Structure 1
Amino acid sequence: MNKNKQIIGLENAKICFYLPTPPTLEANWSHTAPLAVQNLIKINGNHWRKILTIMAKIAVANTNWKRYRDELLLKQDESILIDSVQLNPNASVHIICGQLSAQKLNLNSALFKPITSDSSSSHVSKHTSQAIYLCPYLDYRQFPNQQIDILRAALTLPPLS
């Protein structure tokens, strides 16, 4: 992890996830290591397994999210920006996870509209002119599979179910 920018993964990744707090990482941990995701989960436990699983479910082009998760930060095109005050200029898709991340980025909420008209089924919104998505924190209670599929549809990806 680049400690100055608090980025996990490739700085020029296409999709950037924004989270409020970092995982615990060993001093020699690298996202390029063959078992990087497995080691991150081993050190941080179930909470970060859930975060990485939801990230994989959102970003995978097909439906094999389990395999995708295991290589998420190594071979894929996603990164995580921690406690950021600005969007990653290299990313083309920005997924802001939770209110704390949105507040830190100081985004104008008036520029975001719900992705679906069914307000009871989605807490996911999109910027009116950019590929910036506001969503719940990456936890199954806040961001269940139904909402993941809504976001996937907005990203023009097939549903997982």
Structure 2
Amino acid sequence: MNNYAFGHPLARINVYVEKAPPSEALWGESPSYRSFKKLVDGDIKSLGEAGGNGWRKVFNVYAKLLFAFPHQSTFRPNSALSWQKFRDQSLLQDQSDTALCFGEWNVEQRGKEGGIHIIAGRTHALNLGLSEKCIWLNNEFAKHPSLPIFICPYFDYRQLSNAKIDVLVNLINGTDITV
């Protein structure tokens, strides 16, 4: 299993997925263990081409999630006019304040250090040892009782639809929600 991340190590929005895209196809090798690789213009497009539609969906859903936050939210990017432009020009790059972590991470420790931490997929949360530590609101969404850690469906259009993205945003914002 690959254990590295794209983006910034002190990102405010951190997403965790189990498997990494085929980074070797783009750079000839995977980033080193527990390292954070800041992407540059064109990397997301290239990773989507190398990894297929599934990786395009992950990047799209990540950008759409950020643009679902209210305009006044500190989590909403103000550097781009649309989620598509943000995805292509900023997501997981140096100044984007985002990270996408692959493999096994100590999410609780990272949660204590700040930022929002979103585990994409119930199975991944279980493998990370967090599923039983969180309060489940339904079969798809959970929140850690004391840390800014959230569990949601995998970042795919069918699993994390626009309506479910809104549920996740409300959960992060601490809004009372019906799920």
Q: Which category describes the TM-score, using the shorter chain as reference length?
A: 0.7 to 0.9
Q: Hey, what does 2:5 align to over in structure 1?
A: 7
State the partner residue of 1:68.
86
Identity %: 28
Q: What CA deviation, in whole Å up to 9, does each residue of 1:30-82 have, x standing for no partner?
A: 63322221221122121111001111111231682111211211131111111
| Residue of structure 2 equivalent to 1:44 | 51
Instruction: Give the Cα–Cα distance (whole angstroms) in 1 for the partners of residues 141 and 2 of structure 2.
Output: 30
Q: CA deviation at 1:4?
A: 7.5
Say if 2:122 and 2:140, in contact at 8 Å, map to a contact too: no
**Structure 1 gaps, min length 5:** none
Query: TM-score, length-normalised on structure 1?
Result: 0.79
What letter corresponds to residue 132 of structure 2 in structure 1?
A: S
Matches within 5 A, 1:30-109: 31-60=38-67, 61=76, 64-70=82-88, 71-74=90-93, 75-87=95-107, 89=110, 90-109=113-132
Query: How many pairs are equivalent?
Result: 149
- Give the residue type in structure 2 aligned to 1:21: K
Return the offset for 1:91: 4.5
Give the alignment's Cα RMSD to 1 decimal.
2.6
Kindly indicate whether residue 165 of structure 2 is the aligned counterpart of residue 148 of structure 1. Answer: yes
Unpaired runs of 5+ residues, structure 2, are: 30-36, 68-75, 175-179
Tell me how far 1:28 sits from its aligned partner.
5.8
What is the TM-score with the length of structure 2 in the denominator?
0.72
- 32 and 111 in structure 1: CA distance in 2 versus 1, 3 angstrom threshold: closer
CA distance in 2, matches of 1:15, 1:136: 16
Larger mean CA deviation between 11-20 and 27-36 belongs to 27-36
